[in-house]
Amino acid sequence: MSAAERLTGLPPLIGPDSRVLILGSFPSAASLAAQQYYAHRQNQFWKILGAVLGQPLHEMDYAAKQAAVLAAGLAIWDIYASCERAGSLDSAIRNGMSNDFAKLKKSALAGRHDLPRVCFNGQAAGRFAPQLEMLGFKTVILPSTSPANASWSFERKLAAWRAALKLE
């Protein structure tokens, strides 16, 4: 195993019409290399989100994926702004520095977006639910779309994500 190095995450994908924030823990090595959220080809994120939105997101280029996410009123970000990690597993994250969610809430209050709901992509990110609830966000912890979460079938993950992302 290689030594953990200090890594910096990706900027938030958020727009003025964003109503639901999807929070992961920290981008995989593949995502960091590509500078794209959920770039690991075995991660089911784009396939699940595409099924929820009725669009073939997993077949689109990244710019089209981003546009579809924003048009659907979604935002994507991660819990950690930076951390030390060898590999891509959440369990390997050390010395994480979280993103500034209080600042995010202030920008919502200033009318830059409206994010009343946060959906965590997996249990690792979901450990931060109490902190975001204290800031006034409604939260739900979803099954991880990571290939490491093999105990949930695609259909079971999709049902949970569909229920949580009702975008009325």
* Tokens linked to 50: 């595409």
Instruction: Indicate if the pLDDT at residue 19 is higher than 70.
Output: yes
Instruction: Indicate if the pLDDT at residue 1 is higher than 50.
Output: no
Judge whether 122 lies within some domain: yes
* Tokens linked to 45: 């994120």
CATH number, position 44: 3.40.470.10
Reduced to 3 states, what is the DSSP secondary structure of residue 107?
helix
Judge whether 96 lies within some domain: no
d(CA 40, CA 69): 18
Q: What is the pLDDT of residue 111?
A: 58
Instruction: Indicate if the pLDDT at residue 149 is higher than 80.
Output: yes
Judge whether 156 lies within some domain: yes
For the annotated catalytic residues, the residue numbers are 43
Judge whether 91 lies within some domain: no
Query: What phi and psi, each to the nearest 5 degrees, are found at residue 66?
Result: -60, -45
Sheet of strand 5-8, all strands in order from the earlier edge strand to the far edge: 5-8, 80-85, 94-98
Range of the domain at 110: 10-78+101-164
The answer to whether 140 and 116 have CB atoms below 8 angstroms apart is no
d(CA 117, CA 101): 13
Q: What is the pLDDT of residue 53?
A: 96
Per-residue pLDDT tens digits for 56-113: 999 999 999 999 999 999 999 999 999 999 888 788 889 999 999 988 887 755 555 5
Instruction: Indicate if the pLDDT at residue 115 is higher than 70.
Output: yes
